[in-house]
C-alpha cells in the first residue's frame, strides 16, 4: 500500500575558492564576498503547508522561511539571489521553471542552495520518489515533481556550478544517494589545508533525514525534527569554515537518530559530475568577528612596539576605559567577591556606591536562605499551602526549601502541591533499563519507589527555574528524565520528559545521553493508610470468597454484572507523525462506549488521557515493559499483529476478562484491525483491514468494536 508522508527537501550550495585560503590561511580572513573569487550564492527555497488535495502540514513554511533568513543573515547570501516559493506559488510548473532557470544561469564558481519542505511520495510502480507541489493530485505521479527529473537537472554537464548539495528531510529521499561520506577530522591540524583541496573539486552531495522510509512533520518549536536540528546547527556553528558533512554528523545526525524514528544518511548524487569535492560553509558572522579581533590585536601590537621604541605616547587608546570595562563585567554577577575585587581596584570609582549596595543585597539574600533552611517546614509554609502531612516525621530533617518543594537530609524532595516525593538517581547518563533496575532496588525511607509517568514529570517543569527548568533542589546535570510511558508502543523505545523543551520525547531504551533516572512515590498520611486497609478488610469480609477469587471469574462477573475490559497499547502507523492523537481518540472512544453499555466496564488502560474516568485503572507498568510487548512483526516486510502467547502471559498479571487491541493505518487511505481476546475461553474475535473515514476515526473504531463485541456476546 502506498503511503503519503510529509517531505522536506533542502539543497545547500556554498563554496570557497582555494586561492583565497592560500593567500590568507590565518584566522580573521576577509569576509567581503567577491564574486570574482568566491562566486555568487543562489538559492531556491520551497515550503508548502496549504495543499488543495493533500492534508495540510504544520511546519513546512516556517522551516523554509527560517532557513532562508539564516543563510542571508549568517552565511552571506544575497537576498536578491534567493527565490522563496511558499504554498500556492510552489506549483509543479513554477518549481520546474525555477530549477531550469537556476541550472542554466549558474557560472563555474557559483553556488546553489535548494530547499524543499512539503509532502512527498514514492511510486510503487517505478520506485521513483517525488516532491508533491501545492496542486498535486493524490494518486497521479504525472502531477508531481520526480526525483529523477531533479537529479537530471542537477547532474547535467550544462550546470556549471562547482558545488551542489541536497539536504533532504524527505520520505524516500535515500533513493538519490550513492556511496557514503568521506569525513575529515575536525581535530586534524591540517583540516583547513585539506578542506581547501576538497573545496577545489566539483561536488554533488546529498544529505537525507532517512532512507526509503517516511519522516514526520512534527518536531520542536514549530519545525520538523530534522529541520530543527539543522537550523540549530547552522545558527550555533562557531567555526568560520566547516564542511557540511562534518556539521551534519557532529550536530544533526545523532539527535535525529536518537529522538526520531528515522536514520539520516549522507552521500552523493548518482552522477559523474561529482568529483568527490566538499561543500564548505563560510560563516560570515564568525569570520567578521575574528577579523575584528585580528585587527584589534594587530593595532595593539603596533602601539606596543611604538611605545617600546619611544615613537608614541605611553598611554592606552583614547576610547578604552579600564574602569568601565571591569564594571560592565562585574555588574551582572551574583558573587560578592567580584564586587569586592572591583572596589579594591577602584575604591573611588563613580560605581563604588552601586558595588557596595550590591554586596549588601547579596548578603541579605544569603542570610535569608540560611534562615529558611534552618527552620521547621511548618514555619516557612505559606498560609495558602496545605500543611505538611504526618508522614513528614519519618524523614530525618529539612535541609532546604524552595517554593512548594522541601528537601530532606535523606535526599528526598517533597512537592507540597502534588504530594509527590522525588528521589534523583545517579547523576550520569542512564539507559531506560538501567533506570528501571535502579528504581526497583531503591529502598530509601521504606522504599515503594517507582518510575514516574510523563504527567508526573510535567509537574516538575518550571520554565527558567534552576539550570534545567526545574527546582534547584533536584540536583542533576541531565536535561531528560525517563518515564514508564511508551506512547509509540514500540518495545525498543520509551518516553522521556525533556526539561529543556518542556515536552515528552521518544527515545530508544538503550540510549542514555543526558537522560537520568527519577524515582517517585505518593505521600499518604499513616492514619489514612490504616483507614484504607481497615475499610478494605471489612469489604472483603462482607463478600463471599468465591466472588472475589480470581479462580472464579464467572462468579465475579455475576456479582459485578459486567465484563472487565482492558485496552492494550494502540498501534498507529500514521503518515503525518500524529500517532499519539489517534491513540488518545481510541481510548476516549472505548471509554464512551462503556458508559452506554452496561455489559462491560472499561477497567484498564495502558495510558491516561484527559477526562478519563477515575474507575479506569492504569496498567502501563505492565503493558510497557519490554518483556510484555504484545505487538510483533514476523518479518521486516510484514505488518504488526498480536502475539497471543504474550497476551496470555500479561493476562496472568492483570484483572481483566476481555482485552481489546487496535491497529490503525492512516495514510492516503485509512484502515484498521480490531481484536477482542476472551481470557476465559482463550478465544479471539477480530475484524481486519476495515476501511474507515479520515474525518471520523472515532466513529470507525466505535463501529468495528461494536461488531466484535456482538460476536463475543453471542458466544457467552
DSSP assignments along 133-161, one per residue: -TT--SS-GGGSEEHHHHHHHHH-TT---
Instruction: Answer yes or no: is 535 within a domain.
Output: no
| CATH number of the domain where residue 393 is located | 3.10.100.10
Instruction: Answer yes or no: is 221 within a domain.
Output: yes
Instruction: Answer yes or no: is 28 within a domain.
Output: yes
Determine the pLDDT at residue 438: 92
Instruction: Answer yes or no: is 381 within a domain.
Output: no
What's this model's pTM, rounded to 2 decimal places?
0.42
Burial letters 191-215, b for 16+ CB under 10 A, else e = bbeebbebbbebbbbbbbbbeebbb
Element (H, E) at 591: helix 579-595
CA dist., res. 526 & res. 521, Å (int)? 14
Q: Are residues 304 and 336 both part of a single domain? A: no
CA dist., res. 506 & res. 612, Å (int)? 23
Q: Are residues 252 and 300 both part of a single domain? A: no
CA dist., res. 625 & res. 166, Å (int)? 41
CA dist., res. 327 & res. 337, Å (int)? 13
Q: Are residues 305 and 347 both part of a single domain? A: no
Instruction: Answer yes or no: is 545 within a domain.
Output: no
Determine the pLDDT at residue 177: 56
Instruction: Answer yes or no: is 536 within a domain.
Output: no
C-alpha cell at 582: 489517534
Element (H, E) at 572: strand 571-574
CA dist., res. 145 & res. 97, Å (int)? 11
C-alpha cell at 360: 549588601
Whose CA is closest to 450, among 621, 626, 628, 605? 621
Look at residues 481, 503, 522 and tell me which one is the last residue of a structural domain.
Answer: 522
Determine the pLDDT at residue 294: 60
Range of the domain at 356: 321-374
Non-local CB neighbours of 355 within 8 Å, separated by 6+ positions: 327, 330, 339, 342, 343, 349
Q: Are residues 409 and 466 both part of a single domain? A: yes
Q: Are residues 496 and 597 both part of a single domain? A: no
Task: Note whether 326 and 342 are within 8 A (CB).
Answer: yes
- Strands 420-424 and 413-415, sheet pairing: antiparallel
Q: Are residues 302 and 340 both part of a single domain? A: no
CA dist., res. 10 & res. 228, Å (int)? 13
Q: 562585574: which residue's cell? A: 330
Whose CA is closest to 278, among 190, 189, 186, 183? 183
Residue 364: φ, ψ to 5°: -60, -40
Q: Are residues 404 and 340 both part of a single domain? A: no
Instruction: Answer yes or no: is 528 within a domain.
Output: no
Task: Note whether 495 and 588 are within 8 A (CB).
Answer: no
Q: Taking the chain (716 residues) in consecutive chunks of 10 residues, what is each chunk's mean pLDDT?
A: 36 31 31 49 89 88 91 85 92 92 86 86 81 90 90 87 78 54 72 79 77 60 84 86 82 77 74 81 74 59 54 43 72 75 77 84 69 41 35 56 86 89 92 91 86 92 83 87 81 84 82 88 55 43 36 40 86 80 90 82 86 80 78 78 88 86 88 91 90 87 91 84
Write the DSSP string, 376-397: -HHHHS-TTSPPPPGGGGGS--
Task: Note whether 522 and 418 are within 8 A (CB).
Answer: no
Q: 562566486: which residue's cell? A: 39
Other Cβ atoms less than 10 A from the Cβ of 602: the count is 24
Write the DSSP string, 695-714: GGHHHHHHHHHHHHHHHHHH
Non-local CB neighbours of 479 within 8 Å, separated by 6+ positions: 468, 498, 499, 500, 514
| Distances in whole angstroms, Cα of residue 501 to Cα of each of 196, 222, 462, 505, 523 | 39, 12, 11, 10, 28
Non-local CB neighbours of 688 within 8 Å, separated by 6+ positions: 673, 674
CA dist., res. 202 & res. 163, Å (int)? 6
Whose CA is closest to 163, among 206, 129, 130? 206
CA dist., res. 362 & res. 675, Å (int)? 65
Q: Are residues 250 and 395 both part of a single domain? A: no
Q: Are residues 184 and 234 both part of a single domain? A: yes
Look at residues 260, 282, 304 and tell me which one is the last residue of a structural domain.
Answer: 282
Determine the pLDDT at residue 164: 86
Q: Are residues 290 and 277 both part of a single domain? A: no
Please, is 93 exposed, middle or buried when counting C-beta atoms within 10 Å of its C-beta (0-12, 13-18, 19+)? exposed
Determine the pLDDT at residue 662: 95
Q: Hey, is 191 helix, strand or coil?
A: helix
Instruction: Answer yes or no: is 563 within a domain.
Output: yes
CA dist., res. 617 & res. 67, Å (int)? 46
| CATH number of the domain where residue 669 is located | 3.40.50
Burial letters 236-271, b for 16+ CB under 10 A, else e = ebebbbbbbbbbbbebbbebbbbbbbbebbbbbbeb
| CATH number of the domain where residue 123 is located | 3.40.50.1460
Q: Which residues pair with 146 in a beta bridge?
A: 130
Degrees to nearest 5, angle at CA 631 with 628 and 633: 125
C-alpha cell at 593: 462506549
Look at residues 259, 282, 305 and tell me which one is the last residue of a structural domain.
Answer: 282
Q: Are residues 307 and 326 both part of a single domain? A: no
| Distances in whole angstroms, Cα of residue 253 to Cα of each of 204, 210, 228, 366, 500 | 20, 10, 12, 44, 19
Task: Note whether 8 and 209 are within 8 A (CB).
Answer: yes
Q: Are residues 616 and 634 both part of a single domain? A: yes
Q: 509509540: which residue's cell? A: 488
Determine the pLDDT at residue 155: 86
Question: How many structural domains is the chain composed of?
Answer: 5
Residue 559: φ, ψ to 5°: -70, -35
CA dist., res. 136 & res. 91, Å (int)? 8
Q: Where are the extended beta strands (E) located within 454-499?
A: 480-482, 493-498
Amino acid at each position: 500500500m502506498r503511503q503519503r508522508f510529509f517531505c522536506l527537501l533542502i539543497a545547500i550550495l556554498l563554496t570557497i575558492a582555494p586561492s583565497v585560503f592560500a593567500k590568507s590561511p590565518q584566522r580573521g580572513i576577509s569576509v567581503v564576498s567577491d564574486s570574482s573569487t568566491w562566486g555568487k550564492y543562489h538559492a531556491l527555497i520551497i515550503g508548502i503547508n496549504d495543499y488543495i488535495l493533500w492534508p495540510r502540514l504544520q511546519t513546512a513554511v516556517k522551516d523554509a522561511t527560517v532557513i532562508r533568513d539564516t543563510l542571508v543573515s549568517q552565511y552571506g547570501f544575497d537576498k536578491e539571489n534567493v527565490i522563496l516559493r511558499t504554498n500556492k506559488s510552489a506549483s509543479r510548473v513554477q518549481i520546474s521553471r525555477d530549477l531550469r532557470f537556476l541550472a542554466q544561469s549558474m557560472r563555474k564558481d557559483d553556488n546553489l542552495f535548494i530547499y524543499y519542505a512539503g509532502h512527498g511520495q514514492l511510486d510503487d510502480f517505478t520506485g521513483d520518489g517525488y516532491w508533491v507541489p501545492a496542486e498535486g493530485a493524490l494518486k497521479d505521479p504525472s502531477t508531481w515533481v520526480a526525483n529523477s527529473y531533479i537529479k537530471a537537472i542537477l547532474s547535467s554537464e550544462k550546470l556549471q556550478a562547482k558545488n551542489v548539495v541536497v539536504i533532504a528531510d524527505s520520505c524516500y529521499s535515500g533513493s538519490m544517494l550513492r556511496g557514503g561520506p568521506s569525513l575529515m577530522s575536525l581535530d586534524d591540524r591540517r583540516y583547513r589545508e585539506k578542506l581547501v583541496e576538497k573545496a577545489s573539486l566539483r561536488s554533488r552531495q546529498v544529505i537525507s533525514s532517512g532512507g526509503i522510509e517516511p519522516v514526520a512533520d512534527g518536531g520542536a518549536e514549530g519545525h520538523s525534527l530534522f529541520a530543527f536540528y539543522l537550523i540549530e546547527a547552522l545558527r550555533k556553528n562557531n567555526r568560520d569554515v566547516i564542511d557540511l558533512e562534518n556539521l551534519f554528523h557532529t550536530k544533526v545526525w545523532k539527535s535525529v537518530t536518537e529522538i526520531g524514528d528515522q536514520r539520516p544518511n549522507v552521500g552523493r548524487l548518482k552522477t559523474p559530475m561529482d568529483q568527490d569535492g566538499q561543500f564548505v560553509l563560510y560563516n560570515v558572522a564568525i569570520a567578521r568577528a575574528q577579523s575584528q579581533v585580528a585587527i584589534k590585536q594587530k593595532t595593539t601590537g603596533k602601539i606596543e612596539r611604538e611605545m617600546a621604541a619611544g615613537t608614541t605616547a605611553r598611554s592606552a587608546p583614547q576610547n578604552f576605559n579600564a574602569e568601565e570595562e571591569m564594571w560592565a563585567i562585574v555588574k551582572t554577577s551574583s558573587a560578592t567577591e567580584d564586587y569586592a575585587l572591583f572596589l579594591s581596584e577602584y575604591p573611588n570609582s563613580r560605581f563604588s556606591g552601586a558595588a557596595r549596595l550590591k554586596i549588601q543585597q547579596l548578603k541579605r539574600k544569603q542570610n535569608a536562605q540560611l534562615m529558611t533552611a534552618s527552620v521547621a517546614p511548618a514555619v516557612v509554609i505559606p498560609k495558602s499551602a496545605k500543611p505538611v502531612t504526618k508522614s513528614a516525621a519519618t524523614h530525618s530533617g529539612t535541609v532546604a526549601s524552595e517554593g512548594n518543594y522541601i528537601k530532606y537530609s535523606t535526599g528526598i524532595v517533597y512537592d507540597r502541591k502534588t504530594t509527590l516525593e522525588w528521589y534523583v538517581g545517579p547523576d550520569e547518563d542512564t539507559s531506560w533499563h538501567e533506570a528501571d533496575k535502579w528504581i526497583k532496588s531503591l529502598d530509601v525511607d521504606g522504599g515503594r519507589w517507582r518510575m514516574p509517568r510523563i504527567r508526573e514529570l510535567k509537574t516538575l517543569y518550571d520554565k527558567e527555574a534552576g539550570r534545567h527548568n526545574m527546582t534547584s533542589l533536584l540536583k542533576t546535570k541531565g536535561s531528560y528524565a525517563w518515564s514508564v510511558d511508551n506512547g509509540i508502543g514500540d518495545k525498543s523505545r520509551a518516553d522521556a520528559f525533556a526539561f529543556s523543551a518542556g515536552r515528552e520525547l521518544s527515545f530508544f531504551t538503550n540510549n542514555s545521553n543526558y537522560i537520568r533516572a527519577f524515582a517517585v512515590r505518593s505521600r499518604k498520611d499513616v492514619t489514612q493508610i490504616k483507614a484504607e486497609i481497615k475499610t478494605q478488610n471489612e469489604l472483603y469480609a462482607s463478600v463471599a470468597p468465591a466472588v472475589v477469587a480470581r479462580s472464579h471469574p464467572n462468579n465475579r462477573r455475576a456479582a459485578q454484572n459486567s465484563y472487565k475490559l482492558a485496552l492494550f497499547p494502540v498501534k498507529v502507523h500514521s503518515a503525518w507523525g500524529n500517532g499519539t492523537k489517534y491513540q488518545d481518540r481510541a481510548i476516549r472512544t472505548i471509554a464512551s462506549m462503556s458508559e452506554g453499555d452496561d455489559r462491560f466496564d472499561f477497567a484498564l488502560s495502558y495510558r491516561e488521557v484527559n477526562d478519563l474516568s477515575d474507575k479506569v485503572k492504569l496498567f502501563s507498568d505492565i503493558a510497557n515493559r519490554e518483556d510484555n510487548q504484545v505487538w510483533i512483526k514476523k518479518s521486516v516486510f510484514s505488518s504488526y499483529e498480536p502475539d497471543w502467547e504474550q497476551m496470555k502471559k500479561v493476562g496472568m498479571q492483570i484483572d481483566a476478562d476481555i482485552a481489546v487491541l487496535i491497529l490503525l493505518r492512516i495514510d492516503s487511505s485509512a484502515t484498521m484491525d480490531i481484536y477482542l481476546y476472551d481470557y476465559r475461553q482463550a478465544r479471539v474475535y477480530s475484524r481486519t483491514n476495515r476501511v474507515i473515514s479520515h474525518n471520523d476515526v472515532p466513529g470507525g473504531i466505535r463501529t468495528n468494536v461494536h461488531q466484535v463485541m456482538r460476536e463475543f456476546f453471542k458466544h457467552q
